[in-house]
């Protein structure tokens, strides 16, 4: 009996071991292109956003009666793990959308289709150039294209500005620090704070590019050992240490509601403030971030969308992804976003002015996006980002000087670049 048990256990373990080794990539057989097809799109975000993309899907289905497109929600919290599980088991959605670099990461591991085979490059002319570049993998393969955009603006309390005798928002770094001091003198306890990217590389990104620096050179060599990078970090540190910007993060509506006069916040706040802080109605406005010595460059994020390599309907799915850039698709998503109060910025700069924000806010976002830049798409960046953020935090919290922190960050980037 004992021997039988031992043999059964051994067989079980052997079978499991064999099972372990079976996962891997293989070509998925394509279904007949003319047969009726149901395409599934796993969209990372909220249910409301899913409903906006479903509008575009329904529009497409009208002209393609053989096709049904189902958009399903993945929450940001567990989307990555679910997409990873789908890639591993090679079963799941035909289309995925999520963080800007996700399609590249899954693509490099064989989980996504190179959309160049399906003529996706023709959309490049319509996209924001920097954002398009960040969606393309370093070797030029296109595993995903931008689905929407997000960016950062200066939110400010017009009533507090008036009390401090300030007529307009700051336009340059010097004006920003001068205004902070004026607001302090007029009794504002916290004149300035950063919401999106506080103590993180995204926060530094704006200052770095506005000072004329970059994380990498165009040929992907780490470039944080420059005087521009030092100038940007020194200015950012001063905002915290000299001018009282909090190191702890408070969301833009909460910060403005609590009496902070200026906040660097994401575009979604433009729709959230009046809803969550009705008492602020008419007391706030937005402007582009103040310009640095080299210009106004601001961070652009967003989501990418692509087709999975394990889809049985790659051709049809790729065709639908292309459809998402048409006027009618963008307009349908924008109209539904407006109805649902969702902060959607389309991936096409020419359509930003029609996005679901108040016209004056849409105009500011359209202005910001013109000179926007996106996250570095260089090899090793995703692995380095958290360590780079840690070095920046060391400098802000006074645990390391500017040069050392940047040097250490550059070292990590070099090591991960391979």
Partner 1 sequence: MATHTAAPRRRWRRYGTSYLMLLPFLGLFAGFLVWPLVNSLYLSFTKFDGVNAPEFQGLENFRRLLFDDDRFRHALGNTFLYVVASIGIGTLLSLGLALAFNGSSWPHRIMRTIFFLPSVTSSIALMLLWKWVFNPGDFGLANTVAAWFGGRAVEWLATPGLTIPILVLMSVWGGMGYGMVLYVAGLNTIPQEYYEAARIDGAGTWQQFRRVTLPLLRPVTTYVVVTGLIGAFQVFEAVYIVFRGTNNIGGVLDSGLMIVPYLYDQGFTHFKLGYASAIAWVLFLIIFALSMVNLRIGRALKEL
Which residues contribute to the site for partner 1 (CB under 8 A)? Answer: 1, 12-13, 16-17, 19-21, 23-25, 80-81, 84, 87-88, 105-106, 109-111, 198-202, 246-250, 254-255, 258-259, 382-383, 385-387, 389-390, 393-394, 397, 399
Min dist. Cβ of residue 32 to partner 1 (A): 27
Min dist. Cβ of residue 271 to partner 1 (A): 20
Min dist. Cβ of residue 20 to partner 1 (A): 5
Dump the DSSP string for 87-132.
HHHT-S-SEEEEETTHHHHHHHTT-B--GGGGTGGGGGGGS-HHHH
Min dist. Cβ of residue 381 to partner 1 (A): 11
Which residue, 175 or 383, is less far from partner 1 as judged by CB? 383
**Which residues have a Cβ under 8 Å from the Cβ of 186 and sit 6 or more positions away?**
160, 163, 164, 165
Helix (H) or strand (E) holding 306: strand 299-307
Q: 3-class SS at 172? A: strand
Q: Where are the beta strands (DSSP E) in 214-258?
A: none
Min dist. Cβ of residue 42 to partner 1 (A): 16
Other beta carbons within 10 angstroms of residue 77's beta carbon come to: 8
Which residue, 235 or 310, is less far from partner 1 as judged by CB? 310
Dump the DSSP string for 43-64.
EES-HHHHHHHHHHHHHHHHH-
Dump the DSSP string for 277-289.
-GGGTTSEEEEPP
How many helices (DSSP H) and strands (DSSP E) are in the chain?
A: 16, 9
**Which residues have a Cβ under 8 Å from the Cβ of 33 and sit 6 or more positions away?**
315, 316
Min dist. Cβ of residue 309 to partner 1 (A): 9
Helix (H) or strand (E) holding 146: strand 145-157
Min dist. Cβ of residue 77 to partner 1 (A): 9
Which residue, 21 or 35, is less far from partner 1 as judged by CB? 21
Which residue, 8 or 122, is less far from partner 1 as judged by CB? 8
> Alpha-carbon distance 73 to 44, whole Å?
6
Which residue, 23 or 66, is less far from partner 1 as judged by CB? 23
Q: 3-class SS at 331? A: helix
> Alpha-carbon distance 281 to 273, whole Å?
8
Tell which residue, 152, 141, 144, 123, has the closest CA to residue 348: 123
DSSP strand pairing (284-287 vs 145-157) = antiparallel
Which residue, 46 or 244, is less far from partner 1 as judged by CB? 244
Which residue, 65 or 418, is less far from partner 1 as judged by CB? 418
Min dist. Cβ of residue 248 to partner 1 (A): 4
Which residue, 23 or 341, is less far from partner 1 as judged by CB? 23
């Amino acid at each position: 009996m004992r021997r039988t048990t031992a043999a059964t256990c051994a067989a079980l373990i052997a079978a499991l071991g064999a099972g372990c080794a079976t996962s891997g990539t293989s070509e998925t057989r394509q279904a007949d292109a003319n047969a009726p097809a149901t395409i599934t799109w796993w969209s990372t975000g909220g249910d409301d956003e899913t409903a906006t993309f479903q509008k575009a899907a329904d529009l497409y289905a009208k002209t393609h009666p053989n096709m049904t497109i189902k958009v399903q929600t993945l929450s940001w919290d567990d989307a990555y793990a679910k997409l990873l599980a789908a890639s591993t088991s090679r079963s799941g959605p035909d289309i995925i959308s999520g963080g800007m670099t996700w399609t590249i990461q899954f693509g490099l591991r064989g989980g996504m289709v190179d959309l160049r085979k399906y003529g996706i490059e023709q959309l490049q002319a319509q996209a924001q150039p920097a954002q398009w570049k960040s969606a393309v993998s370093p070797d030029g393969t296109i595993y995903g294209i931008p689905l929407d955009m997000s960016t950062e603006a200066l939110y400010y309390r017009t009533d507090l500005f008036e009390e401090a005798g300030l007529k307009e928002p700051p336009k340059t770094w010097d004006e920003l620090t001068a205004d902070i001091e004026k607001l302090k003198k007029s009794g504002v306890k916290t004149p300035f704070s950063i919401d999106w990217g506080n103590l993180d590389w995204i926060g530094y990104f704006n200052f770095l590019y506005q000072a004329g620096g970059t994380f990498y050179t165009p040929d992907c060599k780490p470039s944080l050992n420059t005087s521009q990078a030092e100038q940007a970090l020194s200015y950012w540190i001063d905002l915290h240490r000299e001018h009282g910007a909090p190191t702890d993060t408070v969301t833009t509506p909460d910060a403005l509601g609590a009496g902070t006069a200026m906040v660097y916040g994401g575009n979604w706040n433009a729709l959230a403030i009046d809803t969550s802080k009705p008492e602020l109605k008419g007391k706030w406005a937005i402007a582009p971030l103040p310009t640095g010595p080299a210009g106004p460059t601001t961070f652009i994020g967003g989501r990418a969308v692509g087709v999975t390599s394990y889809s049985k309907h790659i051709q049809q799915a790729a065709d639908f992804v292309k459809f998402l850039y048409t006027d009618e698709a963008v307009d349908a998503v924008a109209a539904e976003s407006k109805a649902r109060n969702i902060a959607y910025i389309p991936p096409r700069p020419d359509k930003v002015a029609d996005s679901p924000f108040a016209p004056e806010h849409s105009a500011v976002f359209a202005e910001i996006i013109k000179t926007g830049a996106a996250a570095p798409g260089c090899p090793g960046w995703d692995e380095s980002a958290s360590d780079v953020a840690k070095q920046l935090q060391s400098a802000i919290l006074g645990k390391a000087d500017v040069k050392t922190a940047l040097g250490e960050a550059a070292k990590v980037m070099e090591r991960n670049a391979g």
